[in-house]
Amino acid sequence: MATKPTESITILSLRKLSLGTAEPQVKEPKTFTVEDAVETIGFGRFHIALFLIMGSTGVFWLAGSLLIIGLASVVIPTIGWRWLIRIASIPGIILIMAFKFIPESARFNVSTGNTQAAVATLEHIAKMNRSVMPEGKLVEPVLEKRGRFADLLDAKYLRTTLQIWVIWLGISFAYYGVILASAELLERDLVCGSKADSEVVVTGGNSGESQSPCYCHMFAPSDYRTMIISTIGEIALNPLNILGINFLGRRLSLSITMGCTALFFLLLNICTSSAGLIGFLFTLRALVAANFNTIYIYTAEVYPTTMRALGMGISGSLCRIGAMVAPFISQVLMSASILGALCLFSSVCVVCAISAFTLPIETKGRALQQIK
């Protein structure tokens, strides 16, 4: 019996063995992003300190408004308005000093190529939180396309953008207008049965201020109470506002509150009682705050992720323009014609209500868009 050749079998076996043996692979170094580091470090004392410091910046919005009114009722009649400004600036100075303990954003450092500073910041956070850093080297994640100003004016978003800008400017104009107009109306004492042309009283508690050419009517304690009550109105409509934007939609809810704002601006010209004036101012503050909440939500929802921050930032810039124009109407024009100033505020709110109602996109129930 002939034996089979073994050479071919041996060669075939060696080939199979060489093909089945994996080549040694070089291990890639471990890397992590800022987001990975944040997840690994977790929540701790650093975040609590950050919340206390940065959260305190929002205290002079509602609580700060109430505090400054209460402080003014004590300081102005005794030592004058200049001391009110000096005392009110103290928390801001303390806050500026507290910013020293807030490190630069790690994301910002990575985006600018300063990886070493970003690592130092993350290590500081990990130390405060008594945690550890992830293993590996910090790298910058692959960035998606960033939004450009031209994208806001693209054909798809052009009409929406222009109408949003009008609404932001008008809401800011109305918000700061009602705050400044409240003081002007209380100073003129327009409550029915009172003397509008009351005697001029010079504010200030020393002889230097009494000789100042700037004169104004001193607020009575009841005026300060009116300001405090009307300021509390900023949170009064929050529950109804939440229900409105979720059931009626953003556009309809905003158009209704803007229309009501226009109406109540006109009602301020009606001769009414002290309780009636308080009610009008309270409702106005509630409405303008609701307007801000709704347009903020709508703007964040209508733009895709790549454009969202840009759209919010530019809208906020236009908001400042409305805030700068408001004093000229609520104080300068109102000194010449109260009705004229109130009609102008009301007209702007009507324009905003129409713009809100005709917005081309309703974001209620709409998923956030990730890309353009």
pLDDT digits (tens, 9 = 90+) for 303-329: 887 788 888 899 988 888 988 999 899
Kindly state whether residues 39 and 138 are assigned to the same domain. Answer: yes
pLDDT at site 196: 47
Domain range for 165: 148-190+219-371
Query: Rounded CA gap, 250 and 241, in Å?
Result: 10
Kindly state whether residues 169 and 285 are assigned to the same domain. Answer: yes
pLDDT in tens, 241-268: 888 888 888 999 999 999 999 999 999 8
pLDDT in tens, 126-153: 888 888 888 888 887 655 566 788 888 8
How many domains does the chain contain in total?
Answer: 2
Kindly state whether residues 69 and 174 are assigned to the same domain. Answer: no
pLDDT at site 167: 95
pLDDT over 60 at 14, yes or no? no
Binned at pLDDT 50, 70 and 90, residue 154 comes out as confident
**Domain C-terminal end among 120, 143, 166:** 143
Whether the CB-CB separation of 174 and 264 falls below 8 Å is answered with: no
**Residue 13 is assigned to a structural domain of this protein:** no
DSSP secondary structure letters along 259-318: HHHHHHHHHTTS---HHHHHHHHHHHHHHHHHHHHHHHHHHHHHS-HHHHHHHHHHHHHH
Kindly state whether residues 287 and 327 are assigned to the same domain. Answer: yes
pLDDT over 90 at 114, yes or no? no
**Domain C-terminal end among 143, 158, 178:** 143
**Residue 96 is assigned to a structural domain of this protein:** yes
Whether the CB-CB separation of 254 and 291 falls below 8 Å is answered with: yes
pLDDT at site 213: 46
Average pLDDT over residues 340-361: 93
pLDDT over 70 at 198, yes or no? no
Kindly state whether residues 301 and 352 are assigned to the same domain. Answer: yes
Contacts of 182 (CB under 8 A, 6+ apart): 226, 227, 230, 281
Kindly state whether residues 174 and 106 are assigned to the same domain. Answer: no
**Residue 291 is assigned to a structural domain of this protein:** yes
Bridge partners of residue 137, in order along the sequence: 31
